[in-house]
Structure 1
Amino acid sequence: LTNSMVRRYLKRHHQRLDHVCRRPGQVQHSWFKYLVERGRSTAFGKEYGLRHIRNYETWQKEVPVFEYDSLKPYIQLMMEGHPDILWPGVVSWFAKSSGTTQDQSKFIPVSQENLKRCHIKGAWDSMSILYHNHPTARVFAEKTLILGGSLTTYEPYPQTMIGDVSAIMIDHMPWIGRPFFTPDFTTALLPDWEEKINKTVSVLLKDRRLTMIGGVPTWNIVLIRKLLEQTGVTNMLELFPRLEVYVHGGVGFGPYRNQFQQYIPKPDFIYQEVYNASEGYFAVQDDYTRDDLLLLLDNGMFFEFIPREEWGIGTPVARQIHEIEVDKTYVLLVSNNSGLWRYVVGDLVHVTSLQPLRIKIAGRISQFINAFGEEVMIHNTDLALSRACSELSAVVTEYTVAPIYLTRSNQGAHQWIIEFEKRPDNLEQFAARLDQHLQAVNSDYKAKRQGDLALNPLSIESVPPGTFIRWMQKRGKVGGQHKIPRLANDRRYVDAILEYINS
């Protein structure tokens, strides 16, 4: 009965979403006006003259682009309970975002309005798309597993709560979703991940009505392995025959797909990607035959885009959605209903379609390899690795890549550290095919590889199972908000992992 009622609600919700997609500029302009109006009474609004801003041209001129360190003093005041700093009133919730490249945690404000009209609305958008594509889905009839993070109080001001965005969403889950959530809330929000996973396994084995899984692939793989190891079965369908959907995000899914297909060998199993960051629920995969994401334009956010090639050169000029172009890569800026203003999320997005507006996550601003002019991004390495794995029947758990620098006697190259779930029969052949696939998806890399003049073929260091997780645990980087760094333009991660496995 509940599933039938929710299906009808989601049908209406999807119609509204479809309506938004047909008038993107109008919707975004409305949010621009609303956010500027709401921000005028804040300390930030007074400092940057938001009451004088009536159009986008003035906005561009008067309000600079902000990275986290520039907003940090304002956020610090908000965390100490001061009202009307970046957003009207007191903001009591902050999403802890560690990312992959920052040793220092970031604390992103999450107002009640932002939680309801962005994060939770984004989750409903995702479900409406799922039910639109698969009307027989039974998410609100069975159980949904989400491995969230944990929550804690902010020590200097205990009224402030901190946690990763998944934990905040679980804590504020609408009443209609609570009966279908597993594990129990206490287990889901445990800070100790080993304890969380062990208790989740026990809960799942007592009630096997699991139909949907959500979360970052890394920790779901750890959980799945634990389930299979404890029960002795070969795949998840033997334990959970009703399993039909995996909603994933946080990292590119390409390298994990073969692994999940082995764990869940169901031809019509649904994989839905979402782009839900601490700063907002940005996008969702709306067409499962494509690998791009629909940008959510009516969720309390105003988006701007800076062409990648202009980033870091003088004062960059941002574009609105009607000014961006297909097949171009942009630095994403967001202003939102939590008080982020022209904020650099840190992600690069590649525009794939304008009607409707769809994107792919191309990587992080700070994660790339350009030691030799090759400009390799995460979406290049994910795709090349996925193709090599499919071709040679290998399954990858994790990977990271760094340059090997030029010396007097040696050419430069890329060094890959790969943890395999299933090793290829011939690692040298795999490396050669991976190199060829990387050339096929990145013409700059291909040019540098031509005749081995600037770059030698890539090399692979295969590491034992569990290496990456144990290395992350050693660094204190445990949980869904901590991701394996894929690429670096230096050797700090690769050398640290090699040192770890040799210690």
Structure 2
Amino acid sequence: MSLKSFFAKIFAQQIYRKTQLWATNPIATQQQVFEDLIRQAKNTQFGIDHHFDQIKTFEDFSRNVPVRDYEGLKSYVDKVVKGEENVLWKGKPLYFAKTSGTTSGAKYIPLTKESMPFHIEAARNAILHYIHETGKANFVDGKMIFLQGSPILEEKNGVKLGRLSGIVAHFVPKYLQKNRMPSWETNCIEDWETKVNAIVEETFYENMTVISGIPSWVQMYFEKLQQKGGKPVGEIFKNFNLFIYGGVNYEPYRAKFENLMGRKVDSIELFPASEGFFAYQDSQKEKGMLLLLNSGIFYEFIKSDEFYTENPKRHTIGEVELGVNYVLIISTNAGLWGYNIGDTVQFTGLKPYRVIVSGRIKHYISAFGEHVIGKEVESALQEAIIDTNIRINEFTVAPQITPNEGLPYHEWFIEFENEPENFVAFAEALDNAMRRQNIYYDDLIVGNVLRKVVITKVVKNGFQDYMKSIGKLGGQNKIPRLSNDRKIVDLLERE
């Protein structure tokens, strides 16, 4: 055992003990977070507008602070972006994490000096919990790769701006700098395919032990490694034994990954977002991820089947139940209040509190981390057919993760009333419209992670036949505009 792995085990034990202190006292921990947030923000514009000085209990808070999404909070965020201080949180944020928007383009999520450390510590602690549970620490002596966005940042009214993964790259601890790959220069490459090729060249002969990233991106890296080496990744990197992932569901990729690796590898799931780092897998034996209750985030949960009713009940951590689908609502030390991030979770354990990400409150596609929502595909289609004779009866969109050849893509299943004269031009217009709608999708196209949209014609009445086949023809039943799997379109293709 090396000195480094020896001390990693000691550090892991210390972090595990600290985690147990709050994990075994969840309600008191969340109450303390709640009180700290209210106290620190009571003199901000938001705090004054919502009478934080009068808030003593969660009931006071829920009466004064409604549940909002980004659009609902946008008037305050816009002031922060313009450079105003003490708006949502004291002072000014350190960074804006730029993410894909809904109805108003890009979103700017503030990251503060209070919130930023938790993004770094959570990822570190996930690895330390793995070491503590398994006793495996030799991987700390090898090279670790974190596939992420470019660390090159812009500036907006005195605040640095970039993708969260690029911002985090500036906070890699010194003790990991020598082990971390790729190089800074390679990490700054914008084109994804060029970047992956450079990463392959840099890492091929290294002792890679940990690989981390969104599964779809890592898959491309593995495929290129296999092409270069002519053998499974597990043989190229004989000491590669830990895969860390987040952002999308790994299960659709698992079989392909194990084939590419040639063997099974331990994995750790993370639940990060620009709005906060919410959970990580703390055990290889238990289902779900440990919900981080002491990380400057106060959590609320609304049952998803009640979310769109009038005044749905807002539950705190002590009121949740196993197996129920909840919409995740957060208030944070970055100044997000009663904020609906759009994710739904289910609890797999209550001692301690562990969750799985069960989806989004609305239909979406995020097979590659793009977070495409219904409004975006509807707007893109409308834009593509404007000033044409094309007429659409019905449509839905699904990802094709494992095509027979070429890059993955979004597949549009469309029943035309009046078809385009030129399908190639129509597909090009549709893809361009989608890229304008969603910056993540645009990144994936520009970076050659995805190829442009593919259009599949659905026979006349094909959607009706599908709805009839599942017993949902007529009434209030609707075809989902998009889904993150191919369950609907697989049935459509059989019609």
Where on the TM-score scale, by shorter chain, does this alignment land: which range? 0.7 to 0.9
| Pairing partner for 2:345 from 342, 345, 349 | 349
| Pairing partner for 2:67 from 47, 53, 65 | 65
* Equivalent residues in 2 for 1:325-404, closer than 5 Å: 325-367=321-363
Q: CA deviation at 1:491?
A: 5.5
Checking the alignment, whether the CA contact within 8 Å between 1:351 and 1:359 is kept in structure 2 is: yes
Q: CA deviation at 1:4?
A: 2.0
C-alpha distance in structure 2 between counterparts of 1:89 and 1:315, whole Å: 33
Query: Residue 296 of structure 2 corresponds to which residue in structure 1?
Result: 300
After superposition, what is the alpha-carbon deviation per residue over 1:21-53, rounded to whole angstroms, capped at 9, x for unaligned? 111001010000000111112111111111111
| Pairing partner for 2:402 from 412, 420, 423 | 420
Q: What's the RMSD between the two structures over aligned residues?
A: 3.5
| Pairing partner for 2:409 from 468, 491, 499 | 468
Change beyond 3 A, Cα 1:70–1:168: same
Q: CA deviation at 1:366?
A: 1.5
Query: Residue 192 of structure 1 corresponds to which residue in structure 2?
Result: 191
C-alpha distance in structure 2 between counterparts of 1:122 and 1:90, whole Å: 23
Q: CA deviation at 1:416?
A: 6.0
Query: Residue 243 of structure 1 corresponds to which residue in structure 2?
Result: 240
After superposition, what is the alpha-carbon deviation per residue over 1:157-207, rounded to whole angstroms, capped at 9, x for unaligned? 2x322222211111112222222210112322332222321221121125x
Task: Say whether residues 1:48 and 2:50 are aligned partners.
Answer: yes
TM-score by length of 2: 0.76
Query: Residue 15 of structure 1 corresponds to which residue in structure 2?
Result: 17
Q: Which amino acid aligns with 1:190?
A: I
Instruction: Determine what percentage of the aligned residue pairs are the same residue.
Output: 27
Q: CA deviation at 1:465?
A: 3.2
Query: Residue 319 of structure 1 corresponds to which residue in structure 2?
Result: 315
After superposition, what is the alpha-carbon deviation per residue over 1:286-319, rounded to whole angstroms, capped at 9, x for unaligned? 2223441111111111100001111111222210
Change beyond 3 A, Cα 1:236–1:102: farther
Structure 2 residue matching 1:162: 3-state secondary structure: strand
Query: Residue 430 of structure 1 corresponds to which residue in structure 2?
Result: none
* Equivalent residues in 2 for 1:172-251, closer than 5 Å: 172-206=171-205, 208-231=206-229, 233-251=230-248
Change beyond 3 A, Cα 1:227–1:320: same
Q: Which amino acid aligns with 2:16?
A: H
Structure 2 residue matching 1:228: 3-state secondary structure: helix
C-alpha distance in structure 1 between counterparts of 2:145 and 2:296, whole Å: 27
C-alpha distance in structure 2 between counterparts of 1:362 and 1:246, whole Å: 21
Checking the alignment, whether the CA contact within 8 Å between 1:121 and 1:299 is kept in structure 2 is: no
After superposition, what is the alpha-carbon deviation per residue over 1:423-480, rounded to whole angstroms, capped at 9, x for unaligned? xxxxxxxxxxxxxxxxxxxxxxxxxxxxxxxxxxxxxxxx643132899898352259
Q: CA deviation at 1:334?
A: 0.8
* Equivalent residues in 2 for 1:438-477, closer than 5 Å: 464-468=405-409, 475=435, 477=442
After superposition, what is the alpha-carbon deviation per residue over 1:376-434, rounded to whole angstroms, capped at 9, x for unaligned? x99xxx9xxxxxxxxxxxxx9x9x999xxxxxxxxx9998664436xxxxxxxxxxxxx
C-alpha distance in structure 2 between counterparts of 1:302 and 1:346, whole Å: 16
Task: Say whether residues 1:265 and 2:262 are aligned partners.
Answer: yes
Change beyond 3 A, Cα 1:156–1:120: closer
After superposition, what is the alpha-carbon deviation per residue over 1:85-124, rounded to whole angstroms, capped at 9, x for unaligned? 111111131112228x7783222111122111x2112112
| Pairing partner for 1:478 from 410, 429, 443 | 443
Change beyond 3 A, Cα 1:152–1:45: farther
Structure 1 residue matching 2:267: 3-state secondary structure: strand
* Equivalent residues in 2 for 1:88-237, closer than 5 Å: 88-98=90-100, 104-116=105-117, 118-151=118-151, 153-154=153-154, 156-157=156-157, 159-206=158-205, 208-231=206-229, 233-237=230-234
C-alpha distance in structure 2 between counterparts of 1:154 and 1:66, whole Å: 28
C-alpha distance in structure 1 between counterparts of 2:88 and 2:217, whole Å: 34
The answer to which of 242-251 and 136-145 deviates more is 136-145
Checking the alignment, whether the CA contact within 8 Å between 2:400 and 2:410 is kept in structure 1 is: no
Unaligned 5+ segments in structure 2 are 375-393, 412-427, 436-440, 454-478, 490-495
Task: Say whether residues 1:280 and 2:276 are aligned partners.
Answer: yes
- Count of residue correspondences: 413
The answer to which of 359-368 and 464-473 deviates more is 464-473
The answer to which of 467-476 and 320-329 deviates more is 467-476
C-alpha distance in structure 1 between counterparts of 2:314 and 2:305, whole Å: 12
Query: Residue 500 of structure 1 corresponds to which residue in structure 2?
Result: none
Query: Residue 84 of structure 2 corresponds to which residue in structure 1?
Result: 82
Structure 2 residue matching 1:112: 3-state secondary structure: coil
Q: CA deviation at 1:136?
A: 2.3
Structure 2 residue matching 1:302: 3-state secondary structure: strand
Task: Say whether residues 1:37 and 2:39 are aligned partners.
Answer: yes
TM-score by length of 1: 0.75
